[in-house]
Structure 1
Amino acid sequence: MIEHSHSLRVLYPETDKMGTVHHSNYARYYEVARWELFRAIGIPYNEIENAGYMLPVIKMNFRFIKTIQYDELLTIKTVLKEIKGVRIWFTYKLYNSQSELVNTAETELAFVCKENWKPCPPPEFVLSAIEKAYLI
């Protein structure tokens, strides 16, 4: 299991009329956290794209526990749960400034060829980086 923590601050335009973070922002928060996990193990996302691969999200699931307000400092704990065939799974735990769990999520992505968007095995350099990170 590979785990990575990433912090970010809630911006004013991310809130809604109710004064809380709009639900659409959670997908963006988790995308940032996911790519920061990849960066931490030595794979900036642009390297994946430059090698001819894309990683579209094919499934996501959120559980909203508490609301989040403007200017809160959030911490996202991302876990690369599994990689099997063309698919890769991540889980997320989102904490507020008081270290309270406010949201959990899971995403499933698939490796596809950039040229034709057909599913394909992950590139060897991604598998190698993941394997190396598991051993650390």
Structure 2
Amino acid sequence: MFLTHQTPVRVRYAETDQMGVVYHSNYFIWFEIGRAELLRNAGLAYTTFEEQGLAVAVVDAGCRYRRPALYDDQLVIETSLESFSSRKLTFTYKVLRADTLLAEGTTIHVFVDRTGRSTDARNYPIWKEFEEIVNENKESEKAEA
């Protein structure tokens, strides 16, 4: 893991079914919230990528549901950048209620240009900043271990 961030969310009524259980597709929205907050917290908001003509497209997504989340639960979305290269990013997620794991997931993304074609992020100024931030965090984790 290169970067990890925890984002609190509270289950809203609109995210639940008639029984007060969170509808499965909402977990992917929470994954996006966690991913955006992880990058923003690292100093790399999505808008910074977009301003340079670079986007991050989801090419694969999965979720394993373990326990139901319910209306008004206070949750934490733990998001980690699991792997990265100049062409692809992999994020992992845990949805937690206190110490209980409710769901875990993975998304895989590719860097794309403004036309939507796969591209090498090393061709963009943000790549150097992104690589430095990830490597700094990697070094911090080693020092803490």
Cα deviation 1:9-47 (Å, max 9, x = unaligned): 111111112311111111110001011111111111111
Task: Report the secondary structure of 1:69's partner residue.
Answer: coil
Q: What is the total number of aligned residue pairs between the two structures?
A: 134
1:126 corresponds, among 117, 130, 143, to: 130
Give the whole-Å Cα distance in 2 for the aligned partners of 1:32 and 1:109. 15
Q: Which amino acid aligns with 2:138?
A: Y
Aligned to 1:77: 78
Q: Which amino acid aligns with 2:129?
A: F
Give the whole-Å Cα distance in 2 for the aligned partners of 1:7 and 1:24. 18
Aligned to 1:88: 89
Deviation at 1:51, TM superposition (A): 1.0
Deviation at 1:121, TM superposition (A): 1.7
Deviation at 1:88, TM superposition (A): 0.4
Alignment of 1:26-105 (within 5 A): 26-96=27-97, 98-105=98-105
Task: Report the secondary structure of 2:62's partner residue.
Answer: strand
TM-score, scaled relative to structure 2: 0.87
Give the whole-Å Cα distance in 2 for the aligned partners of 1:87 and 1:72. 33
The structure carrying a bigger helix percent of its residues is: 2
> Which residues of structure 1 form unaligned runs of 5+?
none
Q: CA RMSD in A?
A: 1.2
Give the whole-Å Cα distance in 2 for the aligned partners of 1:126 and 1:51. 13
> Which residues of structure 2 form unaligned runs of 5+?
122-126, 141-145
Q: Which amino acid aligns with 2:111?
A: F
Q: Which amino acid aligns with 2:116?
A: W
Q: Which amino acid aligns with 1:104?
A: E
Task: Report the secondary structure of 2:106's partner residue.
Answer: strand
TM-score, scaled relative to structure 1: 0.92
Give the whole-Å Cα distance in 1 for the aligned partners of 2:66 and 2:113. 37
Give the whole-Å Cα distance in 2 for the aligned partners of 1:107 and 1:13. 24
